[in-house]
Amino acid sequence: MLTFLIRRLFTAIPTLVLISLIIFLLLDLAPGDPLADQPLSIPPDVRQKMRDALGLDSPAYIRYLLWAKQFFWVEPLVFVDWVTGTGFSEGMQRIVSWQFRAPVFDIIIQRLPQTLWVVGLAYLVGVLIALPIGIISAYRQYSWFDQVGTFVSMIGFSVPPFFSGVLMIVFFAIMLPWFPSIYDTTLVVNDFESFGQQIRQMTLPVMVLALQTTAQLSRFMRASMLDNLNHDYVRTARAKGMTEKVVLLVHVLRNSMIPVVTVIALGIPSIFGGAIITEQIFKVNGLGQLLITAIYANDLPMVQTLAFIFAVLIVLCNLIADMLYGLLDPRIRYD
């Protein structure tokens, strides 16, 4: 298992390098001038100096290698310094956002909590709701519970977040003023009241995102359970005199989880991608919003870094999915 893990990590490296290169080249092809939003009154020679300072006119491969060095070497050193208090990275040039004139990673670290709180929590809530719904729907197939579940997940499937989000705002923030429609990032949670406020402002975006996750995952869980409920080993477990609870939650569940954990793990990167729209609607200044504004502002280092981080997440989650798969299914062997 460990050797498998190490081997997989090693084979992931060329994949990631290739991905980073492709992202870079695609962004390089895109039209746009990072200095376009600078005042027109800047004299051309100053403008040229700014271009030189940003390294904009050097050849593409130099710019790529520079970015790669900063991403794979400087930023990890900065991280090590930050954790241990050493000074390895002193004097080294970090990846700097053109838009914010500040290191990209510092901004990401600022934005990450919002995304994790809202989107990560929504995913967690979605998964935790979806699994029991899927289990019960399968066990009580065609019952009213199953019918309602089918209907709700059909809605969750077919209504995009930009619509359900606006609908939620109209109903629960305007018609019934229960929840705020805008996420207040400056809110500091330090007492019971501000905690309640934080919960309330998180509710709507979490609900919108969780609905989507729940809809997809509960269907998947249901199908997997139904598939397993027909297997012979279920009959054996019943013939042994196991309680229905044991039959369902020990025998069937573990088998049914094998494909489901893969889907859950592979869904994690899409948290960040899927958050882009929802974060816009509720004005949550998380990573999704950061990416959108960086694209508008032609902030290539930021876009490049964020896109690459998403790619790393996808590769990592694939690996996690494979490992979980093997943990749940003893028939999978890693050699």
Positions in the binding site for another protein (CB under 8 A):
229-233, 235-244, 246, 251, 254-255, 258, 328-331
Can you name the residues that pair with 106 across neighbouring β-strands?
A: none
CB of 256 to another protein, least distance (A): 10
Please report how close the Cβ of residue 231 comes to another protein at its closest, in angstroms.
Answer: 7
Q: Which is nearer to another protein, 5 or 332 (CB)?
A: 332
In the complex, the smallest distance separating the C-beta of residue 252 from another protein, rounded to whole angstroms, is 9
Contacts 24+ apart (CB under 8 A), 74-78: 75/105, 78/103, 78/105
Shortest CB 117 distance to another protein, Å: 35
**Residue 133's closest CA among 15, 231, 1, 222?**
222
Chain centroid to CA 315: how far? 12
Q: Which is nearer to another protein, 125 or 242 (CB)?
A: 242
Task: Give the angle subtended at the CA of 122 by the CAs of 102 and 190, to the nearest 5°.
Answer: 65
Residue 9 or 249 having the CB closest to another protein: 249
Whole-number minimum distance, CB 335 to another protein, in Å? 15
Q: Which is nearer to another protein, 195 or 233 (CB)?
A: 233
CA distances from 230 to 70, 149, 166, 236, 249 (A): 55, 21, 42, 11, 15
User: In terms of CB distance, is 42 or 332 closer to another protein?
Assistant: 332
Beta carbon nearer to another protein, 68 or 246: 246
Smallest separation (angstroms) from another protein to the CB of 235:
6
Q: C-alpha dihedral over 197, 199, 203, 205, to 10 degrees?
A: 90
Residue 264: half-sphere exposure toward Cβ, Cα within 13 Å: 23
